[in-house]
């Protein structure tokens, strides 16, 4: 029962977020966060971590940053359709949001 309540609450939050984004002329994009802390946001390498590991350190490209910052970069890149190598080099993107498409040109 608690899982269905959690799902309903999350669904309501996403609905509110989509309305607020639409009012601002933006579009909210839901992203599955599964595995975003495990993948390097610079080179895409899978770097296994336990829940206690709070620091991301990539043995391939040498990227070092907080685990949550790495996950946030990965989520932003998935939302804007960029995954893989050097995807974080997009300073103009807002994490989780993209421009609302024009319906009629």
Number of helices (H), then strands (E), in the chain: 2, 4
**Is 105 among the domain residues?**
no
Q: What is the mean pLDDT of each successive set of 10 residues along the chain, which is 105 residues long?
A: 69 89 88 89 92 94 94 90 53 53 53
- Number of structural domains (the chain) is 2
C-alpha to C-alpha distance for 60 and 66, rounded to whole angstroms:
17
Whether the full predicted model's pTM is greater than 0.95, yes or no, is no
d(Cα 45, Cα 63) in Å, to the nearest integer? 11
Q: Which domain holds residue 49?
A: 31-99
Confidence (pLDDT) at 28: 86
Please tell me whether residues 9 and 48 are part of one structural domain: no
In whole angstroms, how far apart are CA 18 and each of 6, 37, 55, 74? 18, 25, 32, 21
Question: CA angle, 102 as apex, 101 and 104 as ends, to 5°?
Answer: 145
Say if residue 21 is in the same domain as residue 66.
Answer: no
pLDDT at position 73 is 93
């Amino acid at each position: 029962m608690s899982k269905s309540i959690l799902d309903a609450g999350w669904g309501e939050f996403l609905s509110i977020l989509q309305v607020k984004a639409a009012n601002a002329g933006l579009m909210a994009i839901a992203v599955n966060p599964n595995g975003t802390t495990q993948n390097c946001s610079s080179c895409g390498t899978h770097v296994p971590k336990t829940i206690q590991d709070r620091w991301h350190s990539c043995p391939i490209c040498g990227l070092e940053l907080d685990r949550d910052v790495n996950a946030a970069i990965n989520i932003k890149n998935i939302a804007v359709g960029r995954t893989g190598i050097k995807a974080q080099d997009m300073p103009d993107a807002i994490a989780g949001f993209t421009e609302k498409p024009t319906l009629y040109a």
